[in-house]
Amino acid sequence: MNTETAVSARPAATLMWLTYLVGGIGYFIGISTVQQEPASLSVAALLAVTATGVLSFIRHAIFNRSDAAHGGWEYGQRNNFQIEVGLANLAWGAFALLAVVLDWGLIAVSSSFLISGLYFVFVAVFVTVTPGARQRGFGGIIGISVWGTMMIVMGAFGMSAALGT
């Protein structure tokens, strides 16, 4: 047991659920807007990629001790790797924001979904196949797998609409 005061996992858990909620709203907006003429994923990307990237950055980097407690990891010292993961989340969120604000087009916006989704699927695979990597039950693996797959599917729909296929 850590000699410091126990760290609450609640802030990280709350941020994670908020991330899924905001991202899910964005995803469901995207389901309808990607099928419109002209197809768009702008609002969906701002919620499902940008907002979730910012929330994940806050969880991993700012609330890193709470996030570590939530994940069942050692939280005694600052974990620079968690901060790096938070910065990766922030990077694709910033990319999606720039793609929307600077009107880079549906291909760029769709790419933000694809890169985010691939990351999450890769994490799910890593945690599943690496001995000792999973600290919690399969619920987290299922959640990240479903989320990553949804993001990849949305990105593929966007690419298909952008390329007219």
d(CA 151, CA 149): 5
Asked if residue 2 belongs to a domain, the reply is no
Q: 0.85 cut: is pTM over it?
A: yes
Asked if residue 87 belongs to a domain, the reply is yes
Which structural domain range is residue 150 located in? 10-163
Token pair recorded at residue 112: 């933000």
Note whether 90 and 105 are within 8 A (CB): no
Q: Tokens 């990607």 identify what position?
A: 34
pLDDT at site 132: 64
Asked if residue 54 belongs to a domain, the reply is yes
d(CA 68, CA 135): 10
- Positive or negative, the CA dihedral 57, 121, 114, 160 is negative
pLDDT in tens, 121-162: 998 888 787 766 555 567 778 888 999 999 999 999 999 999
Name the region of 71 (left: φ>0; alpha: ψ -120 to 50; beta: rest). alpha
d(CA 84, CA 102): 26
The alpha-helical segments, DSSP class H, found in the chain are: 10-33, 42-45, 52-57, 64-71, 80-101, 106-129, 138-163
Is the pLDDT at 2 greater than 60? The verdict is no
Asked if residue 44 belongs to a domain, the reply is yes
pLDDT in tens, 82-92: 889 999 999 99
Token pair recorded at residue 25: 């709203």
Token pair recorded at residue 128: 């599943």
Asked if residue 3 belongs to a domain, the reply is no
**pLDDT confidence band for 76 (50 / 70 / 90):** low
Cβ atoms within 10 Å of 127's Cβ, excluding its own: 17
Asked if residue 77 belongs to a domain, the reply is yes
Asked if residue 1 belongs to a domain, the reply is no
pLDDT at site 7: 85
Asked if residue 139 belongs to a domain, the reply is yes
CA separation (Å) from 126 to 40, 89, 111, 148?
32, 17, 22, 13
The domain tally of the chain equals 1
